[in-house]
Each structure stands twice: as C-alpha cells, then as structure tokens.
Amino acid sequence: MNVPIYRQALGEDFHRLQPELQEYFSLAPGSGHYGVGEGVFDVVGCRQAWLRPLLKLTSGEDAFFPDYGEGIPFRIENHAHQDPFGRSSLTARREIRFPGHVRIFQDTTSLVDSDGGPRLVDYLGRFRRMVTDLKLSVTNEGRLRGVSEASRLFLGPLRLPLPATVDARAYAEQWWDGAAGEHGQHRIQVKVIQPQIGLVLVYAGGFDYRLRPYIGGSSAQSFLPRYAQPDRWENRT
C-alpha cells in the first residue's frame, strides 16, 4: 500500500493535523502529480552579517546560503517518489528569488525502518552529504512541528556524527491560516540554531499550494524529474 511518508511517521496523530495540512502531506509516490507552492517569505536567510562569508563557502551545496532579505518571492516543488534504494521519499526543491539572483535549497526526506518504528531522515543539499533525523509532533491547534536531530556528514566513505556542541538544529512549524489572503494560505516558519552561534538561518512566510500532473502523465513510483534530482544519492543513515 502506497501510504504518504508523513502519515506513516505520525501514525494516528496525522489525523490531528488541520485538514489542509493533511492534504498537503498526503502526496504519495505514483500519484502522477507533484505539488507547487508559490508565495513570499517575510524574512529569509542569515541575519548575522559576520556569519555570511562563512555560509558563502557552502552556498554551492544548495542547502545553506549567505543572503538575507525581507519580502522575498519563492517557489517550492514537492515530488513524492521512491528513491534509488526503494525507500518512499519526498524531494523538495525551493527557488528563493533574491534581487538579482536565485538561490536553490533542496532536500530529500526518506522513510526508514527502525526498532522504534518508521522514522524520517532528511538528506540536505545537491550532494545529500548532510543527514538529520526528523522528530515530528502535532500541536493542539493541528499544526505540524518538526525538529532536526543528530546531524551527520558523509564525506566519501566516512560517516561523521556532529557533536551536540557544534550541531545546528532546525525548528520548523507549518500550519494553515484561514484568515490569510482571499481564500486562506499555508504558513511556514523555520529557524536553524547553533548553540555556540545562535540563529544561523531563518525563513518564514506564506504560500498558495496546488497539485499539477506530470508532463506525459508519468505515474511510476520511482519517477522524479531530472531537474529535481540531486547530483548524488545517499542510502546511509
């Protein structure tokens, strides 16, 4: 049975999400559709000017970037698929349209089996070199909260867990705001915090979301458009 990964990871708590969030997170491999969101980030990027030169060194990874702006248009595409290792996955590709240039932020979230049941791991960037565990919860209001935990780097054959003193955690919250816009709007807020530095990256804003059919009508479970594929896949966790 082709069950969306967030429904499997949340179990019965999935039904506590706002109905609009349940629809958003119900994209499954083989559906023949992908999700498109377009909106504006109220704030996005690195607020700390002294940190931006360091983030510039990693901007080619399509995971972190040195820019900061307010009122920045963006587009996100969500593609549900099986990865090359047969895991049910969701690949997200974000285009953040800063004045004069566009930053790409991409990741693949995959469902893996563990002793405690199915869990989600997130592979960041175009080379999928950084991996984090995702811990999900549902608030009393039906919002989805996610916290990234226990990051590690894959550099060639090396698996390098990041110590808690240097690891940065991402705190995300997504919800539906029925009072926003003409018909309501999805809202998202993400903060990446490193204990020694503080706030590394932030993005928060609203967007409209819809499903579109794939050109050619492909419904293969492993289908992922070439432009959304990473330069490298990783199956280690």
Distance CA 192, CA 201 (A): 5
Q: Where are the beta strands (DSSP E) in the chain?
A: 33-45, 68-82, 88-98, 101-112, 119-124, 130-138, 144-155, 158-161, 169-177, 185-194, 198-213
Mean pLDDT of the chain: 95
Hey, what CATH topology would domain 5-215 get?
Lipocalin (2.40.128)
Give tens-digit pLDDT for 100-111.
Answer: 999 999 999 999
Tell me the mean pLDDT in the region 83-101. Answer: 97
Distance CA 212, CA 65 (A): 29
Give tens-digit pLDDT for 135-169.
Answer: 999 999 999 999 999 999 999 999 999 998 889 99
Q: Which of 138, 204, 209 is nearest to 170 (CA)?
A: 204
Give the start-to-end residue ranges of the domains of the chain: 5-215
**pLDDT given at position 2:** 83
